[in-house]
Amino acid sequence: MSGDRQPVSILGAGRVGAHLARAFAERGHAVTVGHRSPSSGAAAWQGPPVRHVSLAEAAAASPVVFHATPGHTALDLLTSLRVPLRDKVLVDVSNATVRQPDGAPGGLLYPEGSLAERIQAALPETRVVKTLNTMLFSVMSAPRSLGAPAQAFLSAEDAGAKTQVRALLASLGWPDEWVLDLGGLASARATEALILMAPYVVAAKGFKPFALTVALASPSPSASASASARESNPGV
């Protein structure tokens, strides 16, 4: 099986988890979805065939596991899954925030760090990768649906884990140049903080697909020409 069709597990079957499960299954991946109540989850499922199992079984089932449960309870949940998550790549797409009465993020739960760093500290034998946490869930598998190029930020300590996740992002439709590697997990502090913009974006523009991103300058024509000249004349 090629790298971009590797099996994946999804922890959680809310809007985010169900969306990712459908998207990967539609692209030919073998998908296992972890539920607190697998029988209820299977009965309510609408989408292509996937396996419905317990959270612990899902954590053990695939080499790459996506965490898509609420961020404010994630640390306790994932710590309880330490054994089945051993030696796995764990992709965290959540944000840990203090919830306002309406459910909107009102502040960071870990203002002096990040959820991703805390997960890695709690699960030292798991390779944690942070990505896809700066956009509405529908954009995770449809980056070209927006009016301008989006970006999927990538934070992790393990280079091999990043490579695996890049392949999965490509399967979801992300061009490689739209994936921005920010370095280690400390950089997740910045991307997790971006979620505080979300309620204001929704208030200003309505509840529609969006991604929080950065605009990078294109290389100037002269710089591109100079780079081409150096490539064709290494001695220059």
- pLDDT per position as a tens digit, 74-93: 999 999 999 999 999 999 99
Query: What tens digit of pLDDT does each residue of 189-234 get?
Result: 999 999 999 999 999 999 899 999 998 887 766 655 555 555 556 5
Decide: 59 and 84 in contact? Cβ < 8 Å: yes
Which tokens sit at 226?
């100079």
Per DSSP (E only), the strands in 51-206 are 51-54, 64-67, 89-92, 97-99, 105-108, 127-130, 152-156, 179-183
The residue among 140, 138, 137, 161 whose CA lies nearest residue 151 is 140
Q: Rounded mean pLDDT of 48-73? A: 97
The CA angle 177-14-181, to the nearest 5 degrees, is 20
- Mean pLDDT computed over 26-54: 96
Contacts of 29 (CB under 8 A, 6+ apart): 5, 6, 7, 8, 171
Render pLDDT for 171-186 as a digit per residue (tens, 0 to 9).
999 999 999 999 999 9
* pLDDT tens profile 89-119: 999 999 999 988 877 788 999 999 999 999 9
Read off the tokens for 131. 């990505």
Residues near 209 by beta carbon (within 8 Å), at least 6 away in sequence: 135, 136, 138, 139, 142, 145, 146
The SS3 assignment for 55 reads helix
> Residue 14 carries which side chain, given as an amino acid letter?
G
- 58 has pLDDT over 50: yes
3-state secondary structure of 128: strand
Question: pTM to 2 decimals?
Answer: 0.90
What is the residue type of 217? Answer: A
Cβ within 8 Å of residue 229, ≥6 positions away? 236
For residue 19 the two structure tokens come to: 């969306």
According to the model, what pLDDT value does residue 3 have? Answer: 46
Tens of pLDDT, residues 118-172? 999 999 999 999 999 999 999 999 999 999 999 999 999 999 999 999 999 999 9
Q: For residue 13, give both structure tokens.
A: 């079957």
